[in-house]
Amino acid sequence: MENSRRDFLRRTCALVAGVSVSPFAVNGTTDAETEQAIKYAIIHDETKCIGCNACVEACRETNHVPEGVTRLSIEKTGPYGEYPNQYYHFTRHSCEHCEDAPCVNVCPTGAAYIDKQTGIVSVHADKCVGCQYCLLACPYEARFINPVTKAADKCDFCQKTNLKQGKQPACVE
């Protein structure tokens, strides 16, 4: 199982790298067309994660996420194997930024939206009425109601913080 998972991750990374380079290989595209073809994605290499939760804390600090809720979590499963060769699996749990996002489709006020340039699924907190339809529609259970703003919240790749400054998302840094 371990080898097939590792092979899957390698192939997925190679595919993503190939797809992300392909817009630049097309002749005759302008810079504006190339910019609109960019779609953000985070690849979490579960074979390298040690479950330290530094990414979770970096996200919390950068995006001022209150205690008790989180935009990102690392789920630990295991132990697997026999002592002394036991190991754990760590899985990233956050918004997957769906292309046809169910949370956006059910939002009655238009607060949930997909950024056309980046593909990032985000929320206009000032438009959100807290109906929680998006929480129920999310297949990844990645949304929550922010106890401070009383609006739906979720991972947005640090769009309003780090990306705006030309940096990578806090969890990546």
Q: Which range (23-27, 40-44, 124-128) has the least confidence?
A: 23-27
Domain boundaries, the chain: 39-165
**What per-residue confidence (pLDDT) applies to 118?**
86
Is 3.30.70.20 the CATH number for 39-165?
A: yes
**What per-residue confidence (pLDDT) applies to 43?**
85
Distance CA(134)–CA(74), nearest Å, equals 22
| % of the chain with per-residue pLDDT over 70 | 79
**φ/ψ of residue 94, rounded to 5:** -160, 180
The 10s digit of each residue's pLDDT in 132-169 is: 999 999 999 999 999 999 999 999 999 888 888 989 99
